[in-house]
C-alpha cells in the first residue's frame, strides 16, 4: 500500500514531467527556440526548378507550430515563408515559362519587404537586413542562407495552407 507522502511525491513528479513535455508541434533548436530557417534564398535560374517542383517538401509554419506566447520574431519569419511559398505556387503554376523567374523574384522581394514592415511595427530590434535599403537589403537577405537550393526536407509534406493574398505579378518589370 502506498503512503500519502509517496502518492503526493508521485503526483508531483508526474505533473513536472507533463509540464516539461514537448506536446506541441513546434520544433526547437538548441536554444529552445522555434526552428524557422531564415532567410529564404533569392530565386535564380539555378534554384528555380527546386522552387517550383519541390515546394510541398519545404516547411510551412501554421500557428500551431509556435508556442502560445513569445517567439513573435519567429512567427514573423514563418509568416514571410508562408507568403513566399504561396506566391511561388502562383508564379510556377500560372506564368509563361520565360516569366516564372521574374515572378518568383518579385514574390521574394515583396514577401521580405512585408516582413521588414512588420519587423519595424514592433518594439523589438528588427532583423538586420531590414535596416538596409535597395540592393543592399537584397544582398543582405541573400547571404548566409540555410537552404540556398530550396531542397525539400526529407520525409516532410507541407500541410494544406490557404492561398496568401497580396501578391500580383507585374510582367512589365521583367
Q: Which residues share a beta bridge with 110?
A: none
Contacts of 86 (CB under 8 A, 6+ apart): 161, 162, 163, 164, 167
Question: Residue 97 has what pLDDT?
Answer: 86
Over residues 119-131, the mean pLDDT reads 93
Question: Residue 60 has what pLDDT?
Answer: 96
Helix pair angle (100-120, 134-141), 10° resolution: 100
Q: How confident is the model at residue 4 (pLDDT cuts 50, 70, 90)?
A: low
Compute CA 105 distance to the chain's CA centroid, rounded to the nearest angstrom: 17
C-alpha cell of 33?
Answer: 527556440
> 58: left (phi > 0), else alpha (psi -120 to 50), else beta?
beta
Measured CA to CA, the distance from residue 69 to residue 65 in angstroms comes to 12
**pLDDT tens per residue, range 24-73:** 333 444 456 788 999 999 999 999 999 999 999 999 999 999 888 888 99
What's the half-sphere exposure (Cβ side, CA atoms, 13 Å) at 35? Answer: 8
Question: Residue 1 has what pLDDT?
Answer: 46
Q: How confident is the model at residue 20 (pLDDT cuts 50, 70, 90)?
A: very low
Closest alpha carbon to 111 in 69, 152, 80, 78: 80
By mean pLDDT, which of 6-10, 38-42, 48-52, 85-89 is the weakest? 6-10
Closest alpha carbon to 87 in 99, 72, 98, 103: 103
User: Above pLDDT 90, what percent of the chain?
Assistant: 67
Beta strands in 48-145 (DSSP E): none
Measured CA to CA, the distance from residue 140 to residue 121 in angstroms comes to 20
- Is residue 151's pLDDT more than 70? yes
Contacts of 163 (CB under 8 A, 6+ apart): 86, 89, 90
Amino acid at each position: 500500500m502506498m503512503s500519502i507522502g509517496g502518492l503526493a511525491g508521485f503526483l508531483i513528479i508526474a505533473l513536472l514531467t507533463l509540464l516539461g513535455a514537448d506536446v506541441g508541434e513546434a520544433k526547437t533548436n538548441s536554444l529552445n527556440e522555434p526552428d524557422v530557417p531564415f532567410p529564404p534564398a533569392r530565386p535564380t535560374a539555378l534554384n528555380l526548378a527546386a522552387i517550383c517542383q519541390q515546394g510541398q517538401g519545404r516547411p510551412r509554419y501554421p500557428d500551431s507550430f509556435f508556442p502560445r506566447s513569445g517567439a513573435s520574431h519567429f512567427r514573423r519569419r514563418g509568416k514571410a515563408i508562408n507568403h513566399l511559398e504561396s506566391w511561388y505556387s502562383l508564379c510556377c503554376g500560372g506564368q509563361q515559362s520565360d516569366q516564372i523567374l521574374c515572378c518568383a523574384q518579385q514574390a521574394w522581394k515583396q514577401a521580405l519587404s512585408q516582413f521588414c514592415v512588420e519587423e519595424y511595427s514592433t518594439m523589438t530590434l528588427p532583423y538586420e537586413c531590414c535596416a538596409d535599403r535597395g540592393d543592399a537589403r537584397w544582398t543582405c537577405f541573400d547571404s548566409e542562407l540555410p537552404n540556398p537550393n530550396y531542397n525539400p526536407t526529407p520525409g516532410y509534406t507541407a500541410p494544406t495552407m490557404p492561398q496568401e493574398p497580396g501578391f500580383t505579378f507585374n510582367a512589365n518589370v521583367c
